[in-house]
Amino acid sequence: MATQDDVFKKIVSHAKEYGFVFQSSEIYDGLSAVYDYGQNGVELKNNIKRYWWDAMTLLHENIVGIDSAIFMHPTIWKASGHVDAFNDPLIDNRDSKKRYRADVLIEDHLAKIDEKIDKEVAKARKRFGDSFDEAVFRSTNARVLEYTAKRDAIHERFANALNENNLEELRQIILDCEIVCPISGTRNWTDVRQFNLMFKTEMGSTADGAMTVYLRPETAQGIFVNYLNVQKTGRMRIPFGIAQIGKAFRNEIVARQFIFRMREFEQMEMQFFVRPGSELEWFNKWKEARLRWHKALGLGDEKYRYHDHDKLAHYANAATDIEFEMPFGFKEVEGIHSRTNFDLSQHEKFSGKKIQYFDPELGESYTPYVIETSIGVDRMFLTVLCSSYEEQKLDGGDTRVVLHLPAALAPVKCAVMPLVRKDGLPEKAREIVNELKFDFSTHYDEKDSIGKRYRRQDAIGTPFCITVDHQTLEDNTVTLRHRDSMEQKRVSVDDLHRLIHDEVSINSLLRKLS
């Protein structure tokens, strides 16, 4: 049986073979942890962004969007705390010369203990059948109790070390847990050091005094520094939100999981400004709303979970991640943070400008509190890709690779195919394309056998194939083939637009949310 690792490798090569994702600068042997999106990838990515943008700005009359510049005044990153504290703890293995994030090594170790516990539970469930009571088993089984105690003890030390920024203790935990380097298999570890993740560059020529500027490591600060502009010009009343989609850059220490961890990536962030004291209520609302957005895609409800943070960032008073089950385990796709009034207060302090809101209902001014929802476009892309990929065994021993992409996100919505390349069928097929292309991304394909053409479309996740045959010329009907069921129906050309629209419009996804 294929392991999850094999499956992931196949997904990565499928993404390349079918024009979704390419290694950046490939003909120069690539640039590590930087990727380019190909002809199908860019469409899928744009559709993900559209779904998020519309869910934020169309469905909420109190959320508006902006597009701020990547370069910003360097003092912004002083004020936000990124210059001093946007660090990851890194550790090297002296034998393999490989570098790791110390916190990730420990988290992976904890996840392995959790897996052992889950295995014991699964074994017992099999043994006891219907009479199995998981809660009782977890609280009484000696082996499970032993694993749980061990896990909790490490977890507590780990959380304390992170909160206290105690790098020696992080190293000690790695040694005490006997964590080995996956490459060399040894425990020959260096000290743990802090590493700042921001990229620096220079603006202006050196002659007139160049200024060090940073490539933004998050899009959020562009929203905070425009808070006053938007609030005033849009006459926004609290509570209200500002949404933004854009590139962010982080000099990640370890970047080995394809587009999961990149050095250049894209974020979709929304900052929601609320009255002080109401932030935890809004935090819970957004936590639920964001999970609903994910689940509406139908990728599998059981693949999501919340993960509350052990270490709250210096600015946060509540934080959770939405995790998705990737082939390499449950991983963060989105973060939801209650950021208090930290950012706006800091910008007030560093800029000297008053950043306050006069609340007409309360008759007083205050610095708004903020709930942030922050999701990586690329991680979302990976989520969709991984959960859609299937190698399907067909009756008769054949297999097909199919991407069960949510129809609204699919790069191509329909492909029109003349059965043969003569008798006026190509002309009729072109006529249909020319009608549909105004509303849907439509392919025309006449090469190879019809079976091969169907496979090509399945592999990029096209929800519908439309085949034009001799009967079409007589009665204006075509066969409409559905990607997932492979079912073919004879339908009138006049009905095509409606039938396709019903399934592929982002509209139908958005309706599930409101």
Q: 214-217 long-range CB contacts below 8 Å, 24 or more apart?
A: 214/72, 214/74, 214/77, 214/82, 215/70, 215/71, 215/249, 216/70, 216/71, 216/72, 216/246, 216/247, 216/248, 216/249, 217/82, 217/86, 217/248, 217/249, 217/250
Q: Is the dihedral of CA 448, 449, 455, 460 positive or negative?
A: positive
In this chain, which residue has its C-beta nearest to ligand ATP?
376
| Least CB distance to ligand ATP at residue 47 (A) | 17
Residue ranges of the alpha helices (H) in 129-234?
A: 134-140, 142-163, 167-176, 220-224, 227-233
CA angle in degrees (0–180, nearest 5) for 186-187-192: 135
**C-alpha dihedral sign at 478, 480, 486, 487:** negative
Q: Which residues are paired to 212 by β-bridges? A: 202
Q: How far is the CB of 90 from ligand ATP (least distance, A)?
A: 13
Taking the C-alpha atoms of residue 335 and residue 374, their distance in angstroms, rounded to an integer, is 5
**In the complex, least distance from residue 217 CB atom to ligand ATP, rounded to whole angstroms:** 8
Cα separations in angstroms, 415 against 210, 364, 411, 454: 53, 59, 11, 9
Q: Do 320 and 334 meet the contact criterion of CB atoms below 8 Å apart?
A: no
Nearer to ligand ATP, 379 or 404 (CB): 379
3: its two tokens: 């392991």
Q: How far is the CB of 33 from ligand ATP (least distance, A)?
A: 8
Q: Under the rule (CB under 6 A), what is the footprint of ligand ATP?
A: 218, 250, 252, 261-262, 265, 267, 332-335, 374-376, 378-379
**Which helix (H) or strand (E) segment is 337 a member of?**
strand 329-338
CB nearer to ligand ATP: pick between 47 and 219: 219
The C-alpha atoms of residue 306 and residue 101 are separated, in whole angstroms, by: 22
Closest separation in Å from C-beta 157 to ligand ATP = 19
Minimum distance of ligand ATP from residue 220's CB (angstroms): 9
Q: C-alpha angle 400/402/408, rounded to 5°? A: 160
Find out whether 416 and 466 touch, Cβ atoms under 8 Å.
yes
Which residues lie below 8 Å from residue 324, measured CB to CB, with a gap of 6+?
294, 299, 303, 304, 330, 331, 333, 383, 387
Tell me which H or E stretch contains 503. helix 496-504
Contact 66, 242 (CB under 8 A): yes
CB 86 within 8 A of CB 197: yes
Q: Which residue has the tokens 């993900």?
A: 48
Closer CB to ligand ATP, 262 or 465, in the complex: 262
- Mention every residue, 6+ apart, whose C-beta is less than 8 A from residue 513: 55, 59, 289, 292, 293, 296
